[in-house]
Structure 1
Amino acid sequence: MAGENRLPGVAFDGAPPVIWLTSAWGFDPQYWGYLGFTKESDRAWFLKEAGENPLVAIYVSDNAKAPEPLRGRLAGILRLGSQLGTNGDFMPKDLYQRVSSDPDTGNRWTHAVQALQAWKVLPGHEPPITELAPLTLGPSTGKGNNRQTIGRRGRRMEPDEARKLLDLPVVEVPVYGGRRTEDTEPAPLSAKLATSRAVARSTSPYTVDEDDSPKHLYILRLNGHLPHFLGRADAELAGLMVAKVGYSKAPDLRCHAFNRAMPACAFRWEVWKTEPGDPPHADWSVAQAGEEAMKQRLEELQAEPLGGEFYLASEASLLAAWRAGQAAAKTAAKEG
């Protein structure tokens, strides 16, 4: 599983993209870093037909084990690599042990093709697959029903239906064993594919990407028992918060990215302060002026820096910093 795959961006030039469709019980590539086939012959057929680094759209089946809000909806898109193996090669060991011992999954989807990148449809925008791809699916029963074939080995989407996917708002999410980027900037799939960068298959670090665009200022707050988190006495931390100041086009997605980067534990980030509605600050330079003002105000109020944009501070200090940040951003916008 060593080595590297270089994947250039994709330019469609108005032509329909080649995208394959399959179904699954969910979409969580952070733990399931592959596309699986129950029969090796189906995997061989797919590899022959789909070619190098295919794009595969995943819709969630109506199986009772699938998350109910996503059943029957398109959840995300995978970009596959060339590495083959078993499912245990592309998921955490503890998950593999549970999957292999479950009578419903133990003998399914064991013939794997690695996934290098994954894009998740923005929550709340997952389209019903029957509306998105009725021709690819065919009728629900009888002759021409392609659903079993789609679930077993995939089916190339009809060109006009594949083109619809390019307009879906998506964010990039981490892949187990693949690209570890959490992308907090929602954009149409066409834009994500066109600007997709090279993907290292080794141990690339976890990063959070944002391009330039209008921004919100924000303050995130860490929820949980802070004395355990910081290794200090309860009395020392009374009335204090661990917070992060910053800016983003989508603070909710940035918060989600921070939570995804943490192991499962009793601590979670939440968006404590941000501006409502559309991003009010024209670009990163205006928002950065606000961020710097928040940090400066916290230092003036003797909040304890915890590295980067992280601070240990009282609620009153953070409120003062928030007001300073908004004022500085407004000034920067007028001067710009």
Structure 2
Amino acid sequence: MIPFSYARANDAAAALQFFANGAAKYLGGGTNLVDLMRETIERPARLIDVTSLSDSIEETADGGIVIGGAARNTAIAEHRLIRTRFPLLSRAIVAGASPQIRNMATTAGNVLQRTRCAYFYDNDAARCNKREPGQGCDAIEGFNRYHAILGASSACIATHPSDMCVALAALDAVVYLQGTEGKRTVPLSDFHRLPGDRPDIETVMRPGELITAVELPPKPMAVNSTYRKVRDRASYAFALVSVAAAIKIEAGVVGDVRIALGGVAHKPWRAMKAEAALRGQPATDVSFRAAAELELADAKAQAHNAFKVELAKRTIAAVLTDLSGDAA
């Protein structure tokens, strides 16, 4: 491992000050960053420990919830208000990793985790534009069973690995950022970037910015929500396809709906086309399948992952069918 220095920040201001003193990375649970350092993909000169920042989970005056950037995934998944008001988030977190990793992983770290593409991790032999722009992407002509079918580019077909972020996207979550230029907020759905010709630039964060919290706005229909993850094995595996959804049904008609997909794109994929197609339509299998077809109409499969297109359609329809039964 390449030598680095270490500093512990007691608040956001101290973290920003430490960051300004050289090439650095913020360290939360380290469940992704430390792995990347072992592989020499990440090479920070300094680690800034931010686990002393807020780990609170607090209700807002309007019924939403603000989750501190240092809150552990286990605490979020087990929190009473999360489990009752936003059950899809609790289920996504539990589906995402082993208990040991959930006990370490933080909110901010989960949002910022990087792809698990095998070619990205192969620092010795594989070409990867995400690791080094201009190298090429060996995944395109390689084994790409786990790769993107939506929003990819000729430079990168990697997928975002987070389960938690898929649920956050469906919940219209907002990311709180703090940097040397002050504080700002960014909708989670706009936070991660599609690859384009610069897949190494993964988010809209500015240099040195720190995630201090994530807010879940009030969303009564989220009581009727769930998260389904389709994977190659039953535990601790990344999604082939996942669906986070919440739906409101009145008199057999879809009043409102939120859908996000995981395992299919470079970012948590908000299914805006499917949502728009469903509002005001009968809550039936036919409507759900038609919306899924519309969302996946522009999917582009690779040699080994064409099955994902139909799998995504079926999973969307199945999740919505289940939720419509619960809402009946």
TM-score range, shorter chain: under 0.3
Structure number, greater radius of gyration: 1
**TM score, norm. by length of structure 1:** 0.26
**TM score, norm. by length of structure 2:** 0.26
